Amino acid sequence: MKQVHYNSSIECLSADVISRKIMPSSYMDVKLIGKCRTYKCSRNSEAKILKELAPKKAYCNLNSALDLDDRIEAEDLFLAINSSKSVKISLVNHSGRHKAQTFISEFYTFAKISKQFPNIAELRPQKTLLEPAEVKVISK
Amino acid sequence: MNNKLQHFIDKEKATVFSQSSIFRPLSSNSDTFGSFLIATTENNNINCLQGILTPRFRNWFSTFSSHESKEELYVTALDNLLKKVDYLHLTMQLDQNLIDEDEFDRELEENEDKYLIKINQDFNSIDLKLIMSITNKLKNRKFSSDEISEIFSVDIDKIEDFIDNHKTHFLENETGSL
């Protein structure tokens, strides 16, 4: 299933991320996940689930997509990866004209749409982030 | 004493206790903001004055209080931005092969406080209003909720909730500050 609206998110153990520009952002202690490396993907970005969470329960947002091959596509994405290792970003030919940057995360990954495509109408009301009540710990 | 204080207080809402030992703690939440208890000694007597500040002085003290909170937010923002810069410098060193991955990971682990941005769970709606008033002052920049979370150490869900609850207000004030 593909999601394109603001605040749509995926959570998984491995994700395929592709974007025109992927920038490391910060090292953050994210609630319920732990220490994460965050990335910002801009200018046409997508993230697809390659490996589902086990057990398949959301840690960050109860509205997250969790199934294999679920994906989000947007102008900008925010990513938090629960890993002490940095990801290897590589350059690929994405379309006839444009190159893109890509990586595959191999740890818990939370990806969220922070800016949807301008040609897509906004949802009314917009999607919300729904925090799970239970506190969980993810082992690296 | 009373002559001097009468400029500050709302006379109708004030109670004077002379030679009294009644000291009631006043809570500092927003509902009772502006309440006060003043004790002075005069001619071997203790005078206690309890009441509510006049609207003019209530606004005055409220401004002081918000300046203090804003200063804390500025310090947090500066600290987090420096952490982010340090982290990006480290990442750049890795990209340029000046350090290898092991050195990068070791540096992060050993000097975690220098790089790790911690989320503060104690933010209330007043703090979030102040954050919005600060970010609105940067006219040429629109902040996403994850940027605000990163800069001010606020939980991202709280920002989203706050924006949802104050959407009408933001739309009305889109060009001005709060």
pLDDT higher for B162 or A108? A108
- Chain B touched by A103 (CB under 8 Å): no
* Confidence grade of residue B38 (pLDDT, cut at 50, 70, 90): low
Residue contacts between A and B (CB atoms, under 8 Å): 60
- Chain B touched by A75 (CB under 8 Å): no
Q: Give the DSSP letter string of A124-136.
A: SSPP-----SS--
pTM of the model: 0.74
Which residues in chain A have their CB less than 8 angstroms from residue B168's CB?
Answer: none
pLDDT, one tens digit per residue, over B117-167 is 998 878 888 888 899 889 988 888 888 888 899 999 998 878 877 777 765
- Nearest residue on chain B to A114, judged by CA atoms? B144
Q: In angstroms, how far is CA A140 from the centroid of its own chain?
A: 18
SS (H, E, C) B30-77: HHHCCEEEEEEEECCEEEEEEEEECHHHHHHHHHHHHHHHHHHHHHHH
What is the pLDDT at residue B20?
38
From CA A66, how far away is CA A72, in angstroms rounded?
11
Whether residue B169 is predicted with pLDDT greater than 60 in this model: the reply is no
With b for 16 or more beta-carbon neighbours within 10 A and e for fewer, the B15-27 pattern comes to: eebeeeeeeeeee
C-alpha closest to that of A34 among B20, B116, B8:
B116
Residue contact A24–B91, C-beta within 8 A: yes
In this complex, the residue of B108, B116, B157 whose CB is nearest that of residue A131 is B157
Q: What ipTM, to 2 d.p.?
A: 0.81
